[in-house]
Amino acid sequence: MTDDKPCVLEVGNCTPDHGRISDMLEEHFDVTLDRVMFVGEALEKLAGQRYALVMVNRLIFDDNSDGGELIRRMQTDGHKDTPVMMLSNYDDAQAQAVSDGAVQGFGKAAVGTPATVELLARYLRPPAAG
């Protein structure tokens, strides 16, 4: 990382959803966004880069695998301190993600809403200067 911008890792979203998420982040935050499609790729990125937040799709678009696998692997593979959140409109998926070690996430239907922006600000806005 060459500057002080928070970095976000987005995992497993289709191109239209990636565009919506990217637009929301660009509109409300000064961040760098990395995008990968698979859990293994995400773990490789996490090994070489510090992220302010990881956002993982409930179902990985390219292979329909479980995005929760990344959450569980992060807890056991040395990335427990990196906030990760599930992107899902399903309450049960959100509850399972939190149980597995994620922070509260949001559904794609809520992309760009004030509540979602406020949720993301917890991780993506730098602390106020003293």
CA distance 94 to 102: 9
Query: Do residues 5 and 29 make contact, with C-beta atoms less than 8 angstroms apart?
Result: no
In a domain, 130, yes or no: no
Q: What is the mean pLDDT of residues 79-105?
A: 97
In a domain, 2, yes or no: no
Asked whether residue 129 carries a pLDDT value surpassing 70, the answer given is no
Q: How much is the pLDDT for 4? A: 81
The CA R_g of the chain, rounded to the nearest whole Å, is 14
* 84 CB-near residues (< 8 Å, 6+ apart): 53, 54, 55, 56, 70, 71, 74, 101, 102, 103
Residue range(s) defining the domain that contains residue 42: 7-124
Query: Model confidence at 63, in pLDDT bands (50, 70, 90)?
Result: confident
3-state secondary structure of 8: strand
Q: How much is the pLDDT for 126? A: 63
The CATH code of the domain that includes 106 is 3.40.50.2300
Domain count of the chain? 1
Asked whether residue 128 carries a pLDDT value surpassing 80, the answer given is no
